[in-house]
Amino acid sequence: MNAFSFVNPTRILFGEGMVDKLGEQVQAQGARTVLLVYGGGSIKKSGLYDRVLTQLEQAGARAVELPGVEPNPRVTTVRKGIELARAEGVDLILAVGGGSVLDAAKAVAVGVPYEGDVWDFMMRKAEIKSALPLGTVLTLSATGSEMNGNSVITNWEENLKKSFGSIHAYPKFSILDPTLTYSVPRDQTVNGIVDTMSHVFEQYFSPTQDTPLQERFCEGVLQTVIENGEKALAKPDDYTSRANLMLSSTFALNGGLISVGMQNDWATHMIEHEVSAIYDIAHAAGLAILFPNWMKYVYSERIDRFVQYAVRVWNVDPSGKSDEEVALAGIQATRDYFTRIGAPARLADLGIGEKDIDRMAKETVRFGPVGGFKQLNEEDVKAILRLSL
């Protein structure tokens, strides 16, 4: 196990009815003018928008709105939010929605006190030194953005999708009410399952030795998602399975709690971001296609971890099989599960061919080779993309 330092400053309010605590949290931040950030209208349809406005009114806070945050949120929308927040003297950002809304709100929060262009943070041209406080009400279990300091933003003009991570961008509080996810459509529920599992893969497939507790944390999240994912798909308003998915996605990516002291990988995420930067596909659709192929490409680096994954997570019976057969059976079980729940398996399923592979690979390694489990250079990335065609 490696030495580590860990902190997570986000207060979580979890459970049915927790939206009624929003006013208290807003007051605790001393907020007078709140920038309410939301997406394309799902919160209006569900009635959550009205509940949030009532809470803000009760807290004595004025609301200014940034609606229309896109899935794969755009830097142009973030810039609009920054200008609005400055003009209106906003002192708290409140994101109500899925990961895209939360990520856009984080970028606004770090962009307001910065005198340059917010895109500098994604291009690693500037360091984040401060942010406006941010609170969130989550409506989709997937990214973990509600309890981490990461934000992923698309620059559509340049076909780039880049991220930043900062201690300043952690939400001060996040309200997690599983009933708010009952209305998440089937395909987005599938995306959330795949994204959560992928976040665990990025941490679990690690070169670091002697981390039994962290490995079991990871396996626990994976098994919980696998079981509850299918239940939530069968019955979208089942509280228990929605709650278990929500807790799992939050713990899968909250500053690395489940993998403290472990080298992480993250290559597959970086490759996927470059696919969605050009094709505007859902993040998790890209991950579902790429991850089993990344696994096939790298498993021999540390076959014992892939054997453990197959046996403990997918109950592959190792008797009479070679390590290689067991490892490959675990990878196949991953692909089969994704297919069973309706996730895509090939880039061609999304209309993506050979054309942009060189460009995506080049951009993936813009800041250097990627991957902590196996370091991948441009040629490796091309090979994984080709396996995924």
What residue ranges bind ligand NZQ (CB under 6 A)? 39-43, 71-72, 97-101, 103, 139-140, 142-145, 148, 150-152, 180-181, 183-185, 188, 191, 195, 253, 269, 283
Cα–Cα distance, 210 to 331 (Å, whole number): 23
Residue of closest CB approach to ligand NZQ: 39
DSSP string of 319-351, one letter each residue: TT--HHHHHHHHHHHHHHHHHHHT----GGGGT
Choose the binding region for Zn ion from 81-89, 102-110, 192-200, 356-364 (rule: CB under 5 A).
192-200
Residue type, 263: Q
In angstroms, what is the minimal distance from the CB of 103 to ligand NZQ? 5
Specify the residue for token string 């196996």: 374
Measuring CA to CA, how many Å separate 90 from each of 34, 86, 108? 6, 7, 11
Which of 103, 146, 177, 195 touches Zn ion by CB under 5 A? 195
Return the number of the residue (66 or 284) whose C-beta is nearest Zn ion: 284
* Residue (232 or 327) nearer to ligand NZQ, CB: 232
β-sheet bridge partners, residue 94: 36, 135
Cα gap 95→241, rounded to integer Å: 24
Exposed (0-12), middle (13-18) or buried (19+): which is 241, by Cβ within 10 Å? buried
In the complex, the smallest distance separating the C-beta of residue 268 from ligand NZQ, rounded to whole angstroms, is: 10
In the complex, the smallest distance separating the C-beta of residue 8 from ligand NZQ, rounded to whole angstroms, is 13
Closer CB to ligand NZQ, 81 or 97, in the complex: 97
Nearest approach in angstroms of CB 136 to Zn ion is 17
d(CA 311, CA 316): 5
Instruction: Return the one option of Zn ion, ligand NZQ, none that residue 135 interacts with (CB less than 5 to 8 A, by type).
Output: none
State the nearest-atom distance from the C-beta of 13 to ligand NZQ, in Å.
17
Binding residues vs Zn ion (CB under 5 A): 195
